[in-house]
A and B are shown apart, each in its own frame.
Chain A
Amino acid sequence: EVQLVESGGVVVQPGGSLRLSCAASGFTFDDYAMHWVRQAPGKGLEWVSLISWDGGSTYYADSVKGRFTISRDNSKNSLYLQMNSLRAEDTALYYCARVNSGYDDAFDIWGQGTMVTVSS
């Protein structure tokens, strides 16, 4: 079964750091670019970051640029999001999602998300 499972979400104080992980299974992980997308409680979806299949290219939303770092370890079938200088507005459910070139680079597989709460 094709699956993405996020982990690492916790309650953290403003200014703190956190690393999220996304474990992939059921497909050849290094064939796919990957994204992080977040959803604040009761709000819509917001794109966070993109990484190419080999990790050679990364892109970020302006709201997280300079604070978040996306990375991947293809030998471990894992995607990561290092989050520094966290703010209250970073509170959200964080999803990892797979890009499928067969669907014009649309996200075709999403995880169930991991919740990050930034609060003192």
Chain B
Amino acid sequence: SQKIEQNSEALNIQEGKTATLTCNYTNYSPAYLQWYRQDPGRGPVFLLLIRENEKEKRKERLKVTFDTTLKQSLFHITASQPADSATYLCAIRGDSNYQLIWGAGTKLIIKP
């Protein structure tokens, strides 16, 4: 079955630095991969979608890469701010066109 792995340990980054989060997947070749942000007590919020034929996608201070050979996506936040502190989850489509399969998320802490 499909499996998605994200760093389970919290990532502590100094304000202003670039935060990089990793998402690895196995047993699947997704046509696209999504990244979400989740704050405590809230549902996930969609950030970016990257397709298999796109190497890189940018949105303001966010950048996502997608390496289908390595089966890995990297999520970067440049010039990080304390407000970026949250849990970030990656997700891929499952066997059906409707199901999302999620990683467990990585908690990001930006220290002032």
Specify whether A and B are partners.
Answer: no
